[in-house]
């Protein structure tokens, strides 16, 4: 309640009309603040209780304890009658968001990068064993299918009343044996047996509740077994593999071949693997693959150089154009200034992917407006070098309004006295811009230039919607002429091998992160030098 | 200090009330078994109608969840088991990936039901490294066809006639196209497949067990390479051009700048409302029948159904109910597609749909093995390289390079 006690102190200071936000905030420092706090904490606790309940039903004991302690801790911080917890009141929300939106995603990316998570390796080993068992069942030659009715004997034992769909003969199946039923004791319709003497038919909700029991109900017939498939049919199936739980291996029944865990998330017999496999840690295997696989290594440098060129030129051109427009439109007393400014911001307001698709149409080699209007035949999208020009131009067009707005703001923040002083000293307008305005502007804009560079480094949409990485390279590798690292990663992980190689994609994104972080770090240290200069 | 204590009590009270409310709404639902179905927005209405009719007949409940079509496949591996679907509505070319991931369950149709479907539709949903198993019940088929503007040209009976008519029409005005077939700089192997198959190309061969063999790549097989110079000829005379993308192709046909358009039933409404006189046919045979790719959609049972305790119900819905002609007709026609069930197909009376169905005769289901993801971009790129007009690569070279690249990627 420290905020409450602080209110009178604020009131004593003579400020006629504080700004809107402080006024709104001060309205919360009395009773409404306490009520708001209690309600918010109550909702948080309710959410925590519910989460604990869900976690308890799924037996995640450790999570329950951690959650309970964390919630109690938060309650204590905000309710305790001491000022010692004051810094924590501000730190806790920030920390929670930091953990939720930064630390956990990074943790998972690293975890996936060190695993084999990809097509064929998405479930747990336990589930994989279960699925292999199910997949190993095969109808034997001349295997029969049955119409099935679930029933109980007078003693309550569960049985299957079966009618062979081909021979139309009746049987009763238990977990021990299949025995014929005399047709005279059975009433049947098109959906099989509806009643049988000595048996009570199980129907509706009672039948549905038996689902899990019936999943494991097998009527043995020689090596095969009749298994319920739907609520009214059963099929004769024979296993082709046997799972030896003690040794943890599958044995193929036809030839005794042993499929053992190969350490890479699959049961294998030589090169022969059983599907599905499971997710498991594989250490740095994905990074090693990136370093060694010629498919990855061969185009890497070319793609990296183009990515840096693309990002750098996009930023440079859009900044230059934005700044030029900002200076031009900064003239005082210019008519229709607002109209010009509004028009210039439009490219920024259009959804990016839409604009990109429109540009792709405008730049079409044969039918695009641009080539037709100017009566030229430039292969904008089908020549490797022209496609690169197109990508940079369109991307620059998309981000120019941003730098226009930013530069305009920054220009207005530069005090007029400085340029005036320069003018008095006899500087030409260009000299004034070069020596006074631009350096001061750069102090404000440089961090944004770096951020924009980092963004364009991973600007997947700009490439994918415009050229899809095309045109293809003559020697046909995965990377097209305009593929940047991130679109190349996408193709490598999702359009190669068996598709969906999320582990490889994660490993690659960590590498991309390292590259961007390195470039940004160098750039930022340079910016600091700039600031000292100013 | 009493205020503090009051505050704490209030906090706990609010929490308890909210938790109780949340708990009670959850408890109220779970009385009858619920089968959760994932489908996309386009199919939602028809799936809801058919599934609800089934649920009412059986005394169960269905919960229809709408997802983006592609997310149905991709989210199935990542969803929490408690929120996971028991049944999904998807495309046959997902089968390999989903089965390899262990996310779908085999389905055993009775011989009587199997007979109601063309063999290729069941084959399209079958996958297995050693033994092939069925993982889905097909509901609808789609394929592209050659749409002929019969107001402008005669229906071609041979490829030579098609070529001659298309080129003659192209010469009539400067903006005209020969055959409007979409590619764009990224390529489109799906729409180019009739040309590819007509020249003798195939994607994957089959092994002795009848399964698709990812090591047998037919993108540059000798038969195809022998006919490949035809592509160079078409490129030179401008019969097809890679710069034509989907909107260019569509506009050209609708504005009578092209007399031939290769497209699928998703444009049948557009065609019918265009006021043009048209007919959909299979593209005439080149060296071999110019068959299109077939896309089959259907229902699959996921591995989560067993854990949810609704395995036999989900299997009942998919194998006993969705397979019936009436359900098939309702599902397919609501979506503007041709039903997979043969008896249901005979009841389709939409002429355009029927024409598209006929244009798919002898077609090849898109390979359903996961390695197919390595093929699309390279095959599309080979077409772009060899049909981009001036400066095009020789088709033999482009397709040989594509085959090598695909083999490298599959590894």
Indicate yes or no: CB of B241 within 8 angstroms of CB of A366: yes
pLDDT > 70 in chain A, percent: 94
Backbone angles phi, psi at A301, to 5 degrees: -65, -45
Q: How far from chain centre, in Å, is Cα B126? A: 15
Closest-CA distance of chain A to residue B73, Å: 11
3-state secondary structure chain B: CHHHHHHHHHHHHHHHHHHHHHHHHHHHHCCCCEEEEEECHHHHHHHHHHHHHHHHHHCCEEEEEECCHHHHHHHCCCCCHHHCCCEEEEEHHHHHHHHHCCCECCCCCCHHHHCCCCHHHHHHCEECCCCCEECCEEEEEEECEEEEECCCCCCCCCHHHHHHHHHHHHHHCCCCCCEECCCCCCCCHHHHHHHHHHCCCCCEEECCCCCEEEEEECCCCHHHHHHCHHHHHHHHHCCCCCCCCHHHHHHHHHCCCCCEEEECHHHHHHHHHCCCCEEEECCCCCCCCCCCEEEEEEEEEECHHHHHCCHHHHHHHHHHHCCCHHHHHHHHHHCCCEECCHHHHHCCCCHHHHHHHHHCCCCEECCCCHHHHHCHHHHHHHHHHHCCCCCCCCHHHHHHHHHHHHHHHHC
Q: E strands within A105-264? A: 137-138, 145-153, 158-164, 170-173, 178-180, 186-189, 192-196, 199-201, 219-221, 224-228, 233-239, 241-244, 249-252, 258-261
**Can you say whether residue B107 is alpha, beta or left, with left for phi > 0 and alpha for psi between -120 and 50 degrees?**
beta
Tell me if A132 sits within 8 A of A276, measured CB to CB. yes
A527 min Cα distance to partner chain B (Å): 40
Per-residue pLDDT, A16: 58
* Cβ <8 Å between A276 and B102: yes
Rounded to whole angstroms, the Cα distance separating A123 from A278 reads: 5
d(CA A523, CA B10): 52
For residue B1, the chain A residues in CB contact (below 8 A) are 81
Which residues in chain B have Cβ-Cβ distances shorter than 8 Å to A228?
312
Q: Which of A473, A460, A350 is CA-nearest to residue A400?
A: A350
Taking the C-alpha atoms of residue A518 and residue B151, their distance in angstroms, rounded to an integer, is: 63
Rg (C-alpha) for chain B, rounded Å, is 25
Q: Strand B126-127 relative to strand B61-66: parallel, antiparallel, unpaired?
A: unpaired
Instruction: Identify the H or E element spanning A526.
Output: helix A502-533
Q: Best of A37, A44, A46, A224 to disrupt the B interface by mutation (most B CBs within 10 Å)?
A: A46
* Residue A84, pLDDT score: 80
The complex's ipTM works out to 0.81
- What's the burial of B240, exposed, middle or buried (CB within 10 Å: 0-12/13-18/19+)? buried
> Both tokens of residue B330?
């309702």
Distance of CA B88 to the CA centre of its chain: 15
- Listed by start position, the domains of chain A span 27-113, 125-273, 291-533
What is the token pair recorded at A476? Answer: 């046909």
Closest residue in B to A211 (Cα–Cα)? B309
3-class DSSP assignment, residue A186: strand
pLDDT the model gives residue B97 = 92
3-state secondary structure of A420: helix
Q: pLDDT value at position A8?
A: 44
pLDDT of B77 higher than 90: no
What is the C-alpha end-to-end distance of chain B, expressed in Å?
72
- CA A38 vs CA A35, A390, B3, B81, B352: distances in Å: 5, 57, 12, 35, 65
pLDDT computed for residue B207 by the predictor: 84
Length of chain A: 534
Q: Whose structure tokens read 């350490």?
A: A263
B238: contact with A, CB 8 A cutoff: no
Rounded distance between C-alpha atoms, residue B301 and residue A131, angstroms = 13
Collapsing DSSP to helix, strand or coil, A219 comes out as strand
Is pLDDT above 70 for B214? Answer: yes
Within 322-351 of B, beta carbons closer than 8 Å to A belong to none
Return the CATH number of the domain spanning residue range A291-533: 1.10.3720.10
d(CA A396, CA A94): 35
pLDDT tens per residue, range B117-142: 999 999 999 998 777 899 999 999 99
Q: Are B197 and B364 in contact (CB under 8 A)?
A: yes
Position A353 scores a pLDDT of 82
Give the C-alpha separation, B232 to B391, whole Å.
Answer: 11
Provide the β-strand partners of residue A269. A272
Q: What sign results for the dihedral spanned by CA atoms B156, B161, B166, B171?
A: negative
What letter does residue A121 receive in the DSSP assignment? B
Q: Cα dihedral sign for B87, B89, B95, B97?
A: negative
Q: What is the pLDDT along chain A (534 residues), one digit of tens a residue?
A: 344 444 444 445 455 566 777 777 676 667 777 888 888 889 999 999 999 988 888 788 898 999 999 999 888 888 887 778 788 888 888 888 898 898 999 999 999 999 999 888 999 999 999 999 998 898 888 888 999 999 999 998 999 999 998 888 999 999 999 999 988 888 888 777 888 888 999 988 889 999 989 999 999 998 899 999 999 999 999 999 999 999 999 999 989 899 999 988 999 998 888 989 999 999 899 999 888 888 777 888 888 999 999 999 999 999 999 999 888 887 777 778 788 878 888 877 888 888 888 888 888 877 788 888 888 878 888 888 888 999 999 999 988 889 988 898 888 888 888 878 888 888 888 888 888 888 888 888 888 998 899 999 988 888 888 888 778 776 656 788 888 989 988 888 887 778 788 899 999 999 999 998 998 888 888 877 766 655
Contact B389 A365 (CB under 8 A): yes
Contact B370 A500 (CB under 8 A): yes
* CA atoms within 13 Å, Cβ hemisphere of A8: 1
**C-alpha distances in angstroms, A235 versus A144, B50, B301?**
6, 26, 17
Q: How far is B402 from chain A (nearest CA, A)?
A: 7
Name every chain A residue with its beta carbon within 8 A of the beta carbon of B388: 365, 379, 382, 471
* Total length of chain B: 411
Q: Write down the pTM of the prediction.
A: 0.82
Residue in A41, A476, A483, A493 to test binding to B, most B beta-carbons within 10 Å: A476
Cα–Cα dist B235/B178, whole Å = 10
pLDDT digit string, tens, across residues B313-365:
999 999 999 999 999 999 998 888 999 999 998 888 889 998 998 999 999 99
Q: At which residue do the structure tokens 């067009």 appear?
A: A397
Chain B environment of A235 (Cβ under 8 Å): 108
Question: What is the structure's pLDDT at B62?
Answer: 94
Give yes or no for residue B25 having a pLDDT over 70.
Answer: no
DSSP A30-84: SHHHHHHHHHHHHHHHHHHHHHHHHHHHTT-HHHHHHHHHHHHHHHHHHH-S-GG
- Return the biggest CA–CA distance within chain A: 119
Structure token pair of residue B46: 């028809």
Burial class (CB in 10 A: 0-12, 13-18, 19+), A327: middle
Q: What is the pLDDT of residues B222-280, one digit of tens each?
A: 999 999 999 999 999 999 999 898 888 999 999 999 999 999 999 999 999 999 999 99
């Amino acid at each position: 309640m420290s905020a409450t006690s602080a209110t009178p102190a604020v009131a004593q200071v003579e400020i006629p009309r504080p700004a809107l936000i402080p006024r709104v905030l001060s309205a919360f420092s009395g009773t409404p603040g306490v009520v708001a706090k209690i309600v918010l904490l109550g909702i948080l606790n309710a959410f925590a209780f519910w989460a604990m309940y869900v976690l308890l039903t799924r037996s995640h004991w450790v999570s329950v304890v951690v959650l309970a302690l964390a919630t109690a801790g938060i309650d204590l911080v905000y309710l305790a009658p001491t000022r010692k917890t004051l810094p924590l009141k501000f730190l806790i929300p920030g920390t929670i968001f930091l953990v939720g939106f930064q630390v956990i995603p990074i943790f998972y990316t690293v975890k996936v990068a060190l695993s084999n998570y990809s097509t064929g390796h998405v479930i747990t080993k336990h589930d994989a064993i279960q699925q292999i068992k199910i997949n190993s069942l095969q109808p034997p030659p001349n295997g029969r299918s049955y119409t099935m009715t679930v029933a109980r004997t007078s003693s309550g034992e569960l049985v299957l009343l079966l009618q062979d769909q081909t021979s139309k003969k009746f049987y009763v199946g238990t977990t021990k044996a299949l025995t014929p039923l005399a047709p005279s004791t059975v009433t049947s319709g098109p959906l099989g047996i509806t009643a049988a003497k000595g048996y009570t038919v199980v129907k509706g909700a009672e039948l549905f509740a038996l689902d899990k029991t019936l999943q494991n109900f097998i009527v043995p017939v020689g090596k095969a077994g009749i298994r319920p498939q739907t609520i009214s049919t059963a099929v004769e199936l024979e296993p082709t593999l046997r799972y030896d739980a003690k040794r943890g291996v599958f044995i193929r029944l036809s030839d005794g071949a042993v499929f053992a865990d190969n350490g890479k998330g699959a049961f294998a017999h030589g090169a022969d693997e059983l599907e599905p496999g499971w997710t498991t840690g594989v250490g740095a295997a994905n990074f090693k693959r990136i370093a060694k696989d010629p498919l990855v290594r061969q185009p890497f440098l070319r793609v990296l150089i183009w990515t840096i060129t693309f990002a750098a030129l996009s930023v440079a051109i859009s900044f230059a154009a934005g700044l030029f427009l900002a200076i031009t439109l900064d003239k005082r007393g210019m008519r229709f200034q607002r109209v010009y400014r509004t028009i210039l911001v439009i490219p920024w307001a259009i959804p990016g992917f839409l604009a990109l698709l429109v540009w792709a149409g405008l730049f079409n080699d044969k039918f695009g407006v641009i080539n037709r209007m100017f009566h030229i035949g430039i292969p904008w999208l089908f020549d490797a070098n022209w496609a690169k020009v197109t990508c940079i131009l369109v991307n620059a067009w998309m981000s120019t309004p941003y730098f226009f707005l930013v530069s305009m703001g920054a220009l207005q923040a530069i005090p007029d006295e400085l340029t005036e002083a320069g003018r008095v000293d006899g500087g030409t307008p260009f000299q004034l811009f070069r020596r006074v305005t631009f350096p001061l502007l750069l102090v404000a804009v440089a961090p944004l230039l770096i951020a924009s560079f980092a963004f364009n480094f991973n600007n997947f949409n700009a490439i994918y919607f415009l050229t899809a990485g095309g045109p293809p390279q003559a020697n046909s590798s995965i990377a097209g002429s305009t593929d940047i690292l991130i679109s190349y990663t996408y193709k490598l992980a999702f359009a190669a091998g068996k598709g969906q190689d999320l582990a490889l994609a994660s490993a690659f994104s960590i590498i991309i992160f390292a590259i961007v972080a390195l470039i940004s770090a160098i750039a930022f240290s340079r910016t600091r030098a700039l600031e000292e200069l100013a | 200090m009493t205020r503090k204590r009051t505050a704490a009590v209030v906090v706990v009270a609010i929490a308890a009330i909210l938790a109780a409310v949340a708990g009670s709404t959850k408890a109220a639902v779970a009385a009858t078994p619920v089968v959760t179905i994932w489908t996309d927005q386009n199919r939602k209405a028809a799936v809801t109608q058919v599934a609800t009719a089934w649920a009412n007949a059986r005394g169960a409940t269905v919960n229809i969840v709408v997802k983006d079509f592609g997310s149905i496949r991709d989210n199935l591996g990542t969803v929490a088991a408690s929120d996971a679907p028991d049944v999904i509505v998807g495309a046959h070319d997902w089968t390999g990936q989903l089965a390899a991931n262990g996310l779908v369950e085999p389905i055993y149709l009775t011989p009587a039901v199997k007979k109601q479907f063309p063999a290729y539709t069941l084959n399209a949903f079958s996958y297995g490294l050693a033994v092939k198993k069925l993982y889905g019940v097909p509901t609808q088929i789609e394929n592209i066809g050659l749409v002929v503007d019969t107001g402008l040209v005669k229906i071609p009976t041979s490829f030579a006639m098609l070529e001659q008519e298309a080129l003659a029409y192209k010469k009539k005005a400067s903006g005209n196209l020969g055959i409007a077939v979409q590619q764009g700089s990224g390529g489109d192997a799906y729409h180019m497949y009739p040309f590819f198959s007509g020249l003798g190309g195939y994607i994957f061969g089959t092994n002795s067990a009848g399964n698709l063999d990812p090591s047998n790549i037919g993108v540059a097989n000798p038969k195809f390479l022998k006919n490949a110079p035809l592509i160079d000829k078409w490129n030179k005379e401008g019969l097809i051009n890679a710069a034509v993308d989907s909107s260019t192709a569509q506009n050209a046909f609708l504005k009578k700048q092209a007399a031939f358009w290769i497209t699928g039933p998703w444009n049948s409404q557009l065609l019918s409302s265009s006021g043009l006189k048209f007919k959909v046919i299979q593209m005439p045979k080149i060296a071999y029948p110019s068959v299109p790719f077939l896309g089959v959609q259907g229902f699959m049972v996921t591995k989560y159904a067993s854990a949810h305790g609704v395995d036999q119900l989900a299997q009942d819905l998919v194998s006993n109910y969705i397979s019936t002609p009436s359900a098939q007709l309702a599902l397919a026609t609501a979506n503007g597609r041709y039903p997979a069930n043969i008896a249901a197909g005979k009841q389709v009376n939409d002429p355009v749909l029927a024409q598209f169905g006929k244009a798919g005769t002898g077609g090849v289901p898109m390979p359903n093995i996961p390695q197919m993801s390595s093929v699309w971009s390279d095959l599309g790129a080979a077409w772009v390289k060899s049909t981009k007009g001036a400066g095009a690569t020789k088709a033999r070279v482009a397709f040989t390079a594509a085959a090598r690249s695909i083999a490298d990627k599959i590894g």
